[in-house]
Amino acid sequence: MATNNVPPPKNHKIRRLQYDRLKTGMQSSIRKIFDTVISSKGVLDLQIRYNYFNLYFKGGSQWKVSNISPRSRGMQIVVETKYFDRKHGIDKDFSWLPGPKDPLNDWLKTLSRHQVILNGWFEENDNKERQLQHKLSVNHLLHYNSKWVILDIEYEAWLHGKKKEKKNVNTRRGCKYDLIGVKRSDLMTSKTLPVYVMELKQGNGSITGDSSITSHAEDMQQLIYDKADVRAKNALLDSIRLSFSEKQTLGLLPNVSGNLLGREIELMPAFILEGVDNTPDLEDQKSKADEILSAYHSDIPWLDYDKMINAKMEV
């Protein structure tokens, strides 16, 4: 088990598949999965990780497809068995699932049956925020004129300091950022590209406490602006450029123009609010977040979820 009583790693993982270096057979299998996602019309989502990718259904990870590398003898598919557990009644059997190295077609045949299992788990466990995230992530696949294009979800980074001692350079913590997004119109220029590191807050109870807006603002400030964590920032920038290129190649960014390899990128913070009332708590959290980030950006985007998902590209 990894310890947090050490500094962050010197070499941070880059999210990419090295698709152009893979064997022809593996490229063909990967393309078949990507095509399945595209043809699902938003039911499925896919996100590239470090030499693997996750297939998502309603925000839950349906498959993890790993062992992807130029030297690999074959990729592997595994599932999270937690989705077969039930709070009420008997846990569901998963012996019918193919094995990790079984043919891809065997796995594809089980997609619908597996999704019934996931739906059962979602009925017993609150998954609303992840489902909202999923809808944002696939929106550009459904609407080619959407204002926003989500490049990644659940981005993870190692930063200096534990949660309650964030300035301790001899310790570390793993931080998750809900979404990485861009405006479609910005992709169509050759200027420095603003890329938004986004936090989605769903419901009044999400804005305070251990995962408050201000806590996330501190994590954003540290990743984007703190020189002590420049390696983590550079890993994010490389991940954005390389995964964008591979998604374009494999069809997950239809009607999205631009080449990010070598293009200057400016990371910016943003918050998305859904089902959050304009209460004193919200105003207080906004004020504190603005104070944390005001030295870098005078105008933090506070985005309304419904308006964001329905917004069309600015012409």
List the single range of 15-29, 40-54, 156-170 with lowest mean pLDDT.
Answer: 156-170
Q: Supply the pLDDT for residue 315.
A: 66
Q: What pLDDT, on the 0 to 100 scale, is given for residue 2?
A: 61
Q: What is the pLDDT of residue 164?
A: 81
Sorting pLDDT into bands at 50, 70 and 90, what band is 163?
confident
Q: How would residue 68 be classed by pLDDT, with cut points 50, 70 and 90?
A: very high
Task: Name the average pLDDT for the chain.
Answer: 95
CA distance readout (Å), 131 to 85, 107, 122, 136: 20, 23, 10, 9
**Phi, psi (deg, nearest 5) at residue 162:** -80, 170
Asked if residue 76 lies in contact with residue 101, where contact means CB atoms within 8 angstroms, the answer is: yes
Reported as a pLDDT band with limits 50, 70 and 90, residue 169 is: confident
For 39, the token pair is 């043809």
Report the distance separating Cα 267 and Cα 279, nearest Å: 29
Does residue 73 register a pLDDT over 70? yes
Annotated domain spans of the chain: 19-127, 129-310
Of 3-7, 10-14, 116-120, the poorest mean pLDDT is in: 3-7
User: Does pLDDT of 86 surpass 60?
Assistant: yes
Report pLDDT digits (tens) over 274-306: 999 999 999 999 999 999 998 777 689 999 999
**Residue 221: partners with Cβ closer than 8 Å, 6 or more residues away:** 269, 292, 293, 296
User: What mean pLDDT comes out for the span 143-170?
Assistant: 93
Long-range contacts of 251-257 (CB under 8 A, 24+ apart): 251/34, 251/35, 251/38, 252/34, 252/37, 252/38, 252/46, 252/141, 253/140, 253/149, 254/38, 254/140, 254/141, 254/144, 255/144, 256/140, 256/149, 256/184, 256/187, 257/187, 257/188
Alpha helices in 201-311 (DSSP H): 213-225, 230-249, 280-293, 305-310
| Mean pLDDT score, 131-158 | 97
Both tokens of residue 189? 């220029």
Helices (H), strands (E): how many in the chain?
9, 9
* pLDDT at residue number 314: 75
pLDDT in tens, 49-62: 999 999 999 999 99
- Whether residue 95 is predicted with pLDDT greater than 50 in this model: the reply is yes
Residue 186 has pLDDT above 70, yes or no: yes
* Span 303-315, average pLDDT: 93
The pLDDT of residue 223 is 96
How are beta strands 265-274 and 302-304 bridged, if at all? Answer: parallel
The residue among 169 and 96 whose pLDDT is bigger is 96
The band of 1, judged by pLDDT with boundaries at 50, 70 and 90, is very low
